[in-house]
Amino acid sequence: MHMHIWQAVVLGIIQGVTEFLPVSSSGHLVLADHLLHISSNALALDTMLHLGTLVAVLFVYRHAAREMVADPFGRLSGLLLAATIPTVLIGLVFEKTFEQVFDSGATIGAEFVFTGALLLYTEAKAVPNPERSMSDMTWRGAVLVGLAQGAAIMPALSRSGLTLCATLAQGIRRPEAVRFSFLLSIPVILGATILQAREWDLTGGSISSALWWGMGASAVSGYVAIRLFTRFMANRRMNVFGVYTMTLGLAILADQLITHRFL
């Protein structure tokens, strides 16, 4: 099916916003694909949308990225590497399983519910220390965040949500937890984009205007989402996102088990 520009823009906005809010971008894209009946150019579209969010996070955290490039053996770079390695290993070991889960969409209802429950539980139990920054995170703590991120490869487990929960549970103050989660998205999104680009010829001149529009929408909405969520998390809790994802998950489960209208 030919993809219209408006469809690519809608998906770009969904990707950009939900990549950084704790609500699961991949889960929302699976839902959007079903509702918009998009089946062609899926790999190319996913690549371009992720490239858009990568542009957004690199622009917002350009100073931190420049710092890590200048000091690749610094503590921040080391913590991000320690958190990235478990994610990569999980992705490599369970790649086929994750692909099957993505294709079927059978588990997204339960996953949305789990994401929401975890957000609510963490906000009820975690007590961030206003004195603890990213530099106070232990290597073991970074690995635990990486394991949480690895689990979030499942379509409706939120990457930002799970990494935020794992970081807040260690007492890291809220703005620093958000910063670590978003910085951690850079190697993950970059790696996923490179792997997808290897399977799809990005240099073959076949990038349609719709895909460029989708990438642009993803970059702009991603930038706005990062800025707004960073301010939000300075003095607010994630309960609203927990309630939202639980409600959405229960609605999906009802459709999957009873009505069968959408999934």
pLDDT by residue (tens digit) across 179-215? 999 999 999 888 877 776 666 654 444 567 888 999 9
Domain ranges in the chain are 5-259
N- to C-terminal Cα distance for the chain?
19
Residue 120 — very low, low, confident or very high, per pLDDT cuts 50/70/90? very high
Using the CB atoms, write b or e for 195-221: b if 16+ within 10 Å.
ebbeebeeeeeebbebbebbbbbbbbb
- Residue type (1 letter), 138: T
Q: Which residues contact 122 (CB under 8 A, 6 or more apart)?
A: 164, 165, 168, 169, 238
Residue 22 — very low, low, confident or very high, per pLDDT cuts 50/70/90? very high
pLDDT (0 to 100) of residue 202:
47
Where does the chain have alpha helices with state H?
Answer: 5-20, 25-36, 42-60, 62-70, 75-93, 95-104, 108-125, 139-151, 159-168, 174-199, 209-235, 239-254
Residue 128: phi, psi to the nearest 5? -60, 140
The tokens describing 97, both together, are 């399983």
The tokens describing 38, both together, are 């998009």
Tell me: pLDDT of 153 over 90: no
Which of these, 254, 83, 236, lies nearest to 159 by C-alpha position? 83
- Residue type (1 letter), 31: L
Among 26-30, 163-167, 202-206, 233-237, the least confident range: 202-206
Residue 135 — very low, low, confident or very high, per pLDDT cuts 50/70/90? confident
Which of these, 149, 191, 175, lies nearest to 229 by C-alpha position? 175
- pTM here is 0.90
